[in-house]
Amino acid sequence: MTDAVDLAARVREGELRLHELDDHADPDVAAAARRQLVESETDASLDSVGDYGFPAAAAEPNIENMIGAVQVPMGVAGPVAVDGGAAEGEAYLPLATTEGALLASVNRGCSVVNAAGGANVRVTKSGMTRAPVFRVTDVVEAEALVEWVRDNVDRLREAAAETTTHGELLDVTPYVVGNSVYLRFRYDTKDAMGMNMATIATGAACDVIEAETDASLVALSGNLCTDKKPAAINAVEGRGRSVTADVAVPREVVTERLHTTPEAIAELNTRKNLIGSAKAGSLGFNAHVANVVAAMFLATGQDEAQVVEGANAITTAEVRGSGSDGDLYVSVSLSSLEVGTVGGGTKLPTQAEALDVLGIRGGGDPAGSNADAFAEYIAAGALAGELSLLSALASRHLSSAHAELGR
């Protein structure tokens, strides 16, 4: 550790900056030097942070000024039976979380889904978006820009294609606000989440627009994309993958396993997830979809900030049939689930192993099928989580379950 101590001293003396350490030592020694510096200046012990199980070089594309790693407990729920457009059969769902009782709840939901014959899941729309904003003189120029874009989508598609061998520009939707024009580019990014791919491709397309029109690019992102922020446009138009999972649960399964009735769950969902969310002005009309999305994102190396969009979901519940013979139908529709099985954090060793649990690491055949399957598995997990929590609330067992598990 002598080299690390010496490097830390050079930073302390102003000879080097933290981000320059990687130029003077291998990534693990550089990380150790940063720990030495932080420990000496904060009186914190970073022994656990420094006890990580992969070469620091493996994380170079994912982090700057690395000092170690945070370990989050990971478990599995399931297996859960999925009948999807890309996912098929039973799968264990890897979830990383520090919230006690979450895995137990999702696991219970998985068992109920299986008893009902499995979850039906389909990706209904796909496309990663980036929306630059342009300045024009007035509405006349705005209209001219909109018309030019509509007439030249093929030229923009060609410019975008020159930046990537995988992504494909699907469409461009214009929005005019005074002398600001927003162009929402939507791409098929195959098995990649695709945010970087969409950004680079859109930059090339914007160069063409500036060269051929009077519009001036103000920003490559004009917030109409919309990335990592609650947004109605994502709820309506989708971003990443829009995916729906549903299941019809026989009445006897509801009463015997969930200790409630289809009628109670359906009423609770209406009053809580629909009316309650509407009164609150929420964009998420669900019980806790974010729990499953976040846990699976952390386990598999997704961009954790995009849980904001991933939790943009609507849960529905209704009784099918009449009288005492009616069964329970439940669905969860996630409008903007941004996932990938290549690139980003999916290359890190533990995250790659979690993707292997699902059998979807890397590029799919055909391209995009692994990311589609991933979205379907997350939706199935969200469905299981919703079913379990709604049942716990309907049967008034939520607090007792947490107490029993010591949470």
Catalytic residues: 99, 303, 402
State the Cα–Cα distance between residues 221 and 185, nearest whole angstrom: 11
Q: How remote is the C-alpha of 227 from its chain's centroid? A: 11
Buried b (16+ CB within 10 A) or exposed e, 173-199: bbbeeeeebbbbbbbebbbbbbbbbbb
Distances (CA, A) of 318 to 101, 269, 329: 26, 9, 5
Structure tokens at 32: 């150790």
- DSSP notation for 62-73: T-SS--------
What amino acid occupies position 298? Answer: L
Residue 363 near residue 190 (C-beta atoms within 8 A): yes
| Rounded Cα distance, 202 and 183, in Å | 10
In degrees and rounded to multiples of 5, residue 390 shows phi and psi of -60, -40
Distance CA 386, CA 285 (A): 11
